[in-house]
Chains A and B, each alone.
Chain A
Amino acid sequence: MPVLIAAPAAIGFVFLALPLFALLVRAPWRGLRGVLTGHAPLTALRLSLECATTAAAISVVLGVPLAWVLARVRAPGIGLLRALVLLPLVVPPVVGGVALLEALGRRGVVGRYLDSWFGVTLPFTTSGVIVAETFVAMPFLVISVEGALRAADRDLEEAAATLGASRTTVFRRVTLPLVAPSVAAGAVLCWARALGEFGATITFAGNYPGTTQTMPLAVYNALETDPQSAVALSLVLLAVAVVVLAALRDRWLRTGWNA
């Protein structure tokens, strides 16, 4: 391997791997169980898992049809629609949080009617956390599924149609199974992204143990009060990330293609 490739590659690897190794080295391994089974970390973990799973479920229910529209519908403006849908991927999460406040906050464009007509306010509730997490994570699923739909073999769908299947049946019995691996991969990615969400959650949903303080927020708070606890909680999130990546393996790199 030429040095011109090996050297930057090595530096790049060390740059990415070093903080993770440092976390493992500095972790309070002896007192780990005590730290992690305390009331506050367990509460944050349970809340994080519940919210991330709900956010991923909502993303699948709304995102798969959205991906189908983006992949299959030929109309002017679809490109613009795709750009808007993918915006939360590029925009800083805290900006997403500010935008959500302006839309769904108590004085928001839509939020004010939610509050006055239905008495529903999203900020400072667990539902608000789920909204924030879905907002930042759904685009992951949409990209993954849209790519798979584009690459899917249309002949199979056409064959089903000529055999008398209705459009819904084709979608349910042919299209969905074809892209199921990408839906699964997208859902896992979406779940992991939702689990790690910080900026939008803390801005839109607030920060209160048990209701809105997810694991990343708990880590941020713990840094000031109990740094050892912060490292321990970080380890948990790190472990989750490793499991997710191992489960996805190289499917993560080939989001558009089915096996």
Chain B
Amino acid sequence: MRRAAAAACAVALTVTACSSSKVIAAGGSSSSTSSALGGTITVFAAASLTEAFTSLGHAFETAHPGTHVTFDFGASSALALQINQGATADVFASAAPKNMQQVITAGGATTSSDFATNVMEIAVPPANPAHIASVADLARSGVKVALCQPQVPCGSTAAQVFANARVSVHPVTLEQDVKATLTKVELGEVDAGVVYVTDVRAAGTKVRGVPIAAAVNASTAYPIAALTHTRNSALAQAFVGFVLSAAGRAVLLADGFQAP
């Protein structure tokens, strides 16, 4: 019994020593190969990236065993604020250049790269009770529309769509991020919501999408950056590189994003 316990201890100590030496190697080396990467990073990403980045996170962890990627999804404007206030984050992926610029100006990042583009779509409940067929229908009186707050990327991009279409839409609610807007549509509380095409696709059968004509649609560019105050620079850069790679691009395109 005692011998078994001693053996177990020895094994445990060896395993711990091995994994900790792997972490030391990852933290210390500047040119890390995939086998030397380790540790955890926290990625702050726009709410619209929920499904795509969750898949990318799993793919990245599979390609680099021993690493762990955690996500904090939310409105890009809220995330930028949190980063500037000192939140612990290693990577920031924003749904608009404006919010990335807020972080760069405050010194949280130095450069960023665009990795995707997204366009808007109207989401309606499956039965489409208000018979929405175009952007102009959103301006009809009696139609309840949910939009994102104007400082959130999906809100400002929707405003551009309305400007392009020359309609004046009065929403009944301004939600915190695109997923909250989508939820109001899924719950049937509103007749329509203006969200990204990727969100309509991700919601599956819970909502129906009404496309916006390309002539009036607006797009937003998604920049990504490793943050200056990251605790694991090598892993952060590696993840950014993975998102920008062909493999990362394939996942994003499959979810409905467009090339940057």
Within the assembled complex, what's the spacing in Å between the Cα atoms of A221 and B77? 10
Within the assembled complex, what's the spacing in Å between the Cα atoms of A124 and B81? 27
Per-position 1/0 for B140-176, Cβ under 8 A of A: 0000101001011000000000000000000111111
In the complex, which residues of chain A have a beta carbon less than 8 angstroms from the beta carbon of B66? none
Taking the complex as formed, is B97 at the interface, i.e. its CB lies under 8 A from any CB of chain A? no
The residue that B187 contacts in the complex, of A105, A202, A221, with Cβ under 8 A, is: A105
Taking the complex as formed, is A251 at the interface, i.e. its CB lies under 8 A from any CB of chain B? no
In the complex, which residues of chain A have a beta carbon less than 8 angstroms from the beta carbon of B189? 101, 105-107, 123-124
A-B contact count (CB 8 A): 50
Please report whether the interface of chain A is mostly helix, strand, loop or mixed according to DSSP: loop
B33 to chain A, nearest CB (A): 41
Q: Judging by beta carbons under 8 Å apart, are B175 and A207 in contact?
A: yes
Taking the complex as formed, is B23 at the interface, i.e. its CB lies under 8 A from any CB of chain A? no
In the complex, which residues of chain B have a beta carbon less than 8 angstroms from the beta carbon of A124? 144, 172-173, 189-190
In which size bucket is the chain B interface? 20 to 34
In which size bucket is the chain A interface? 10 to 19
A217 to chain B, nearest CB (A): 10
In the complex, which residues of chain B have a beta carbon less than 8 angstroms from the beta carbon of A211? 172
Within the assembled complex, what's the spacing in Å between the Cα atoms of A185 and B172? 35
In the complex, which residues of chain A have a beta carbon less than 8 angstroms from the beta carbon of B75? 224
Q: Judging by beta carbons under 8 Å apart, are A208 and B173 in contact?
A: yes
A87 to chain B, nearest CB (A): 22
Q: Judging by beta carbons under 8 Å apart, are A206 and B172 in contact?
A: yes
Taking the complex as formed, is A212 at the interface, i.e. its CB lies under 8 A from any CB of chain B? yes
Q: Beyond the given A124-B144, A224-B149, A224-B151, could you list 18 further A-B residue pairs with CB under 8 A, ordered by the A residue number?
A: A101-B189, A105-B187, A105-B188, A106-B189, A107-B187, A107-B188, A202-B176, A206-B146, A206-B175, A207-B174, A207-B176, A208-B171, A208-B172, A208-B173, A209-B174, A211-B172, A224-B77, A224-B152
